[in-house]
Amino acid sequence: MPKKLLQRYLPSPQAVRENPALRPLSPLLQNSDIWHLNRRSAAGAVFIGLFCCFLPIPFQMVVAGALAVQFRCNLPISVALVWISNPITMPPMFYFAYRLGAWLLNMQLETASIDISFGWLVDNFVGIGYPLIFGSLLCGWVLGVTGFVLVRVLWRMHVITRWRERRARRLARRRGTG
């Protein structure tokens, strides 16, 4: 991954420390490990962010931030990736997660019995909740592992390409001066 390109778009440590959603974590934001950008921290941050974006809970950013601090991964990447699940993308993501969980757990909700009300949701929480949570955790895990592996491989390929370019320049200089 081009480190300079990522750093251009990531917020500064000061901007993240001032974010109101992360205020409970402010004493923990002093650790310099969570601001480093290397292959290990970026890949871990991608896993955390993608996993947390599928959690069907409020305050996903706080969870992603806490996990990034705990595992010393890049905090801005973790928190930024949580925003994949936003008010526009959340309904299809969680519908897919629910359908996947219901299919894997063999629990199908009857469509004739759906009523859009809080009372119906409370009464049917077990029928909806278990498949939604299971499907969300599974989708988050698969997407997180995929992102983790993809970042590690792409970062490594970028480093190898840069090594080869440097080697070719060095050899060209030697040939030109020798």
Q: What is the pTM of this model?
A: 0.79
Question: What average pLDDT does range 139-158 have in this prediction?
Answer: 95
Number of domains within the chain: 1
- Sign of torsion, CA 74 75 76 81? positive
Contact between residue 72 and residue 32 where contact means Cβ atoms under 8 Å apart: no
User: Of 8-22, 30-44, 60-74, which range is least confident?
Assistant: 8-22
Question: What average pLDDT does range 20-28 have in this prediction?
Answer: 71
Confidence band, pLDDT 50/70/90 cuts, at residue 3 = low
Contact between residue 85 and residue 54 where contact means Cβ atoms under 8 Å apart: yes
pLDDT tens for 74-89 read 988 998 999 999 989 9
pLDDT tens for 95-135 read 899 999 989 998 876 655 666 676 766 777 777 888 989 99
pLDDT value for 112: 57
Domain with 76, as residue range(s), is 3-177
